[in-house]
Structure 1
Amino acid sequence: MTAARMSRWLVMAWLLLAAALVHAAPKAWLDRNRIALGETVTLNIATTETAAPEFGPLEGDFAPHGHTSERRFELVNGQATMRSLYSVALRPAQAGRVTIPPIRVGNTVTAPLVLEVTPAAQAIPARAGDDVFIESGPDDLDPYVQQAVGWVVRLYSAIPLVSGHLDQAAPAGASMQRIGDDAQYTRELGGRRYTVVERRYLLVPERSGELAVPGAVFEGRGVGGMFDSLFGDRGGELRARAAPRVLSVQPVPAGAPQPWLPLHDLRLRYTTTPTQPQAGRAATLAVELVADGALAAQLPELELPAIDGVQVFAEPPQSDERFVDGRPQVTLTRRFSLVPSQAGPVRLPGLRLPWWDIAGGAVRTATLPALDWQVRPGSAAAAATAGQGASDPPVAGSAAPGQATTDRQRIWVAIALAFAGLWLLTLVWAVHRRGQRAGSGVAPAAGSDTATKSTAVATPAKPGLAQLRRAIDAGGPEEIVAILQAMADPPIERVDALQSRLDDEAQREALDALQRARWGGGDVSAARQAVRAAFAKGPRWAASQTPAKPPLPPLYPER
């Protein structure tokens, strides 16, 4: 084997191992970051590990119960990956700021999480005592035009539900978009324990005046009693409807700042600032924006003012959206690479972002202080890097030539040598194994257990119709699309290719509706029903694909 081929194998082995390590890292999150004492919160852990999470550390400060697990198929770079999702309901023992400790999953651990537990709610819903009832309402009864209003629908059920459909119709004169996944927890009201399904929406009024929001509707079936089963299980049918609400939408105030940004609060801060910038070297500056009452798509782009003598390269912003106290909140973080072109004093003007205070009814301005640096002279190589121009932006946080680069090179050389040794050991073992098989003259048959086990390891199991139906009933649009892509043979990477592979017009139309709902331009409930009806017997694949006719004749005639 040549040295070039060996290098390619080493690089490939390193990339595969890096990808495996990334996928093996478990992710933990809570369905809510703020609950009332007496309620439960769901801890979710997603992992590709075969081992289950160890929930033992939770038993001291929480009362874990209701363990569930499921497996999902994901299509990553054309490969179907099995990901396990574990969920457990937690009931905190006391109010306050509670820390959920790291949970071990196989050879890895999750990051700790923080939960805010408020005192128990005193108000009891008017319909408490019924088997099933609905609460719904906004976080603001008098919003402004284009204000992001948090709308929360809560379905209370005192009996187990077998099936059901919860729907919230959008009002005329406003847009209503479902946000996130449903949260499920338990709450005791009037001596009865209710299972609560909480669904969140983003309501944006488009004009001033009265806005009538229809009440949410639930239709489903519950677990009936003995006499219900004898008489056709008529007692299992359940219906509930929330009362409609009317909002008074205010117009945009005169003299309000543009762009119009109505919020409850807006804060800016530096999370990372350069200490001693050097000419030709990239220094990192990070800005954090926290907005109470908006999502990331509603905020203006976070940019820095122009800096004399400094090139600025902005990374894509990172956002963390959540619902707190019934309304949306977002934390936006953006990193910038600053490359001074020469030594000397440099000043970053203070960042200013005007917004409208909803509660105070006045203009506010979020500001960041100006920053001053004394740029140190850089080496000739660093100065050449600074003169490359905007066409060759440096990587944020990367080290310039110097001791940091030398240390990084040494680390990578050591890693490469380690993997080279492992690869050589594997190669020697494979050659020895092949020699043993050649000497014995016996090869495993195609139907032998050995061949079957090898195939099972090399080829991941494809999702079946049962997994597709579960995803249609309880999963999101992206999960339904991923399972359909993984069900194809071979798996399909692009959605447009999936469209062309389907041999049923109804299935293609249902997939179109699902894509519109996935990206916010359609009704999720209607799309889910269309997909359920079209794919009731599974996807129908085209027997063969006819290549598209080229728009121009060939340059040379075919022989």
Structure 2
Amino acid sequence: MTRFTAFSLAVLFWTVQAQAAGLVASVDRSRLNSGETVELTLESSDVTLFGKPDLTPLEPLFEVRGTRQVNQLNTLNGDNQATTRWIITLLPRQNGSVVIPSLQLGEVQSQPITVQVVESEAQDTTNKLAPVFIDASLDQTSVYVQAQAILTLRIYHSVSLYDDSSLPPLQIPDARIEQLGESRTYEKAINGLRHGVIEMRYAIYPQHSGELIIPAQVFNAALVDAQPAPDAGAQTPKTGKLMRVSSSELLLTVKAKPASYPADAPWLPARSLSLSESWNPEPEHAQVGDSLTRSLTVKAEGLASSQLPPLPATDVNGLRRYPDQPVLSNQNGDRGLIGSREEREALVPVRSGSIELPAVDVVWWNTFEDHLEHSSLPAQSLEVANNPSMVVDTPASAPQAHSAADSETLWRWKLSTLILACTTLIGFGLWWRARWQPAILRATQTGPSPRTVL
């Protein structure tokens, strides 16, 4: 290990330890509309930190709507770890790229975070005046078949709601639906009135070309009575005004697969797609009989992992291949679903020399730039050396003597086998002849018989 590598590892280890013991900042989302709040979380596992973070640097760019502190104690393998989180609700004062500055608590500081605040779209005036209303929107009005479209449902309420409010699961015929994470809650000011917002996001994958109608979504809510009756007892059931609000239908145009796409390639419409490779151990010093684990990973933005096809197998002369089960995973991002497929296989060289691995190529359609693309890994050569532990050493002295001794031994075995075969045949012949001879022979009389005399 070089000095530079050791120094880099030491710096990385020190940075991780500093972050674990310092103040780590995170937000519940990095993109929001104007008038909406965002939750900033400051987390620390340092038990020596007391008090609250200094929020003064936030005042020029944000309005602090609320703060709360959460203390948590986790036990893992008998070790107790205390964690403290400060959750701060912020309302940006301006649009565009806004930086949440570094905050200080004691001697530690958090890292700055950038959020994008976009201008809110115009909404129906009637809905704005209602105490509860629901809004549905698509990130795009036209997509390719089996490509991703993101549906966002936002439920606005300017009054308190009971917990039994409900929204039925999203169901769309001829489309596959993936919910993008859990629902989010935040606040937004509309016409100077603060509204609570419940936001849900879905990834929709149309299965047929044409027009896809996203039906209206119905939200049932029970409003909390702001002025309860004075004679209401403690045991009185909850009462409140029942409301039923619905969103408008949305139309999504679904385009067919382009004619220029290869007919023999799986259809992969994605915003971006990457292909990567890793080895364990590295194959630079491979020997015959070594087990090399090769991992190929394809990651696509806008596709689920179930849509990613198997990668080409490494069927090469000189390598034994032992494939493993693929690892599929999905990740939620700001622009939808990110699916990945990892395929691992153990490759064992059975001969020395150069072994050529072919290139790996994946064809896909770039939905962002609307054209055909290829993601590939170049062909590579494995230089395999002989394994000394698998070679049997033979002495080079007196090869002719060994050959003569082997010939003499073989000649003796041949002669012994011939004698045994001859004696066996002779014994079998004598046994066969004896079978046809009577057990007692009659004696022959030389004189006249009694019958002749009479």
Query: What TM-score comes out, normalization by structure 2 length?
Result: 0.58
- What corresponds to 2:217 in structure 1? 216
- What corresponds to 1:265 in structure 2? 272
Q: Is the 8 A contact 2:35 2:190 kept in 1?
A: no
Q: Is the 8 A contact 2:308 2:340 kept in 1?
A: no
CA separation of 1:43/1:129 partners in 2, compared to 1, >3 Å: closer, same or farther? Answer: same
Q: Is the 8 A contact 1:132 1:158 kept in 2?
A: yes
- What corresponds to 1:251 in structure 2? 256
Matches of 2:324 and 2:168, distance apart in 1:
41
Alignment-mate amino acid for residue 225 of structure 1: A
Matches of 2:357 and 2:145, distance apart in 1:
35
Unaligned stretches of 5+ residues in structure 2: 1-23, 77-81, 392-454
- What corresponds to 2:116 in structure 1? 118
Out of 306, 327, 331, the residue aligned to residue 297 of structure 1 is 306
CA separation of 1:335/1:173 partners in 2, compared to 1, >3 Å: closer, same or farther? Answer: closer
CA separation of 1:35/1:252 partners in 2, compared to 1, >3 Å: closer, same or farther? Answer: same
More strand by share: 2
1:36, CA displacement in angstroms?
5.1
Deviations 1:174-214 (A, max 9, x none): 34343421122223333233322211223232333322211
1:294, CA displacement in angstroms?
1.2
CA separation of 1:177/1:186 partners in 2, compared to 1, >3 Å: closer, same or farther? Answer: same
Deviations 1:50-106 (A, max 9, x none): x89989669566969454769999xx9xxxxxx9997835538796597999999xx
**1:432-443 → structure 2 map (5 Å cutoff):** none
The DSSP-based 3-state class of the residue aligned with 2:285 is coil
CA separation of 1:46/1:346 partners in 2, compared to 1, >3 Å: closer, same or farther? Answer: farther
Unaligned stretches of 5+ residues in structure 1: 1-26, 77-82, 105-111, 385-559
CA separation of 1:228/1:369 partners in 2, compared to 1, >3 Å: closer, same or farther? Answer: farther
Alignment-mate amino acid for residue 117 of structure 1: V
Q: How many residues align?
A: 348
Alignment-mate amino acid for residue 208 of structure 1: S
CA separation of 1:53/1:340 partners in 2, compared to 1, >3 Å: closer, same or farther? Answer: farther
CA separation of 1:351/1:194 partners in 2, compared to 1, >3 Å: closer, same or farther? Answer: farther
The DSSP-based 3-state class of the residue aligned with 2:284 is coil
More helix by share: 1
CA radius of gyration, larger in: 2
Matches of 2:379 and 2:150, distance apart in 1:
35
Deviations 1:346-374 (A, max 9, x none): 4433221112233554432222233345x
**1:79-94 → structure 2 map (5 Å cutoff):** 88-91=87-90
1:225, CA displacement in angstroms?
2.1
Structure 1 residue 322 corresponds to structure 2 residue 332: yes
The DSSP-based 3-state class of the residue aligned with 1:297 is helix
Query: What TM-score comes out, normalization by structure 1 length?
Result: 0.49
Question: Please, which moves more after superposition, 239-248 or 36-45?
Answer: 36-45
The DSSP-based 3-state class of the residue aligned with 1:167 is coil
Q: Is the 8 A contact 1:184 1:198 kept in 2?
A: yes
Alignment-mate amino acid for residue 273 of structure 2: L
Q: Percent identity?
A: 24
Please provide the CA RMSD for this pair.
5.1
Structure 1 residue 356 corresponds to structure 2 residue 397: no
- What corresponds to 2:385 in structure 1? 377
Alignment-mate amino acid for residue 358 of structure 2: P
Alignment-mate amino acid for residue 157 of structure 2: S
Structure 1 residue 132 corresponds to structure 2 residue 137: no
Alignment-mate amino acid for residue 364 of structure 2: W
1:338, CA displacement in angstroms?
4.7
Alignment-mate amino acid for residue 262 of structure 1: P
Matches of 1:57 and 1:277, distance apart in 2:
51
- What corresponds to 1:514 in structure 2? none
Q: Is the 8 A contact 2:270 2:300 kept in 1?
A: yes
